[in-house]
Amino acid sequence: MPRRHEYWVYIATNRTKTLYTGVTNDIARRMYEHKNSLFPGFTSKYRIDRLVYFETTTNVLDAIAREKQIKRLRRSKKIALIEARNPKWEDFIEKWNTAGAGSSSQRSSE
């Protein structure tokens, strides 16, 4: 039986609320990379280390298209997306690490 893949479109931030939008097939690994500045570039330069918004899908092309769509949004629209689900801008990865990583009750259905 083929394994079902899951793709994550996410918005991460830092303490000053600089926004970064990305896509990955492993959100825990990707946020570990962000939190530890493992790769040079925007996310390490601005210390992007908090997962504040995400959506999941099983279709990689849908994930990439949604990432591009979110990246084109004005900052105010991105903030509205975040605050609709996460008004306190909590770090979902920190919540998962204390409550059991990747609990399905915290996954998006969009």
Is residue 72 scored above 70 in pLDDT? Answer: yes
pLDDT tens for 34-47 read: 999 998 999 999 99
Burial 41-51, CB ≥16 within 10 A → b, else e: eebeebebbbb
The whole model's pTM is what? 0.84
Tell me which CATH code domain 7-106 carries.
Answer: 3.40.1440.10
Q: Where are the domains of the chain?
A: 7-106
* 106 confidence band (pLDDT: 50, 70, 90): very low
Is residue 15 scored above 50 in pLDDT? Answer: yes
* 107 confidence band (pLDDT: 50, 70, 90): very low
CB 57 within 8 A of CB 67: no
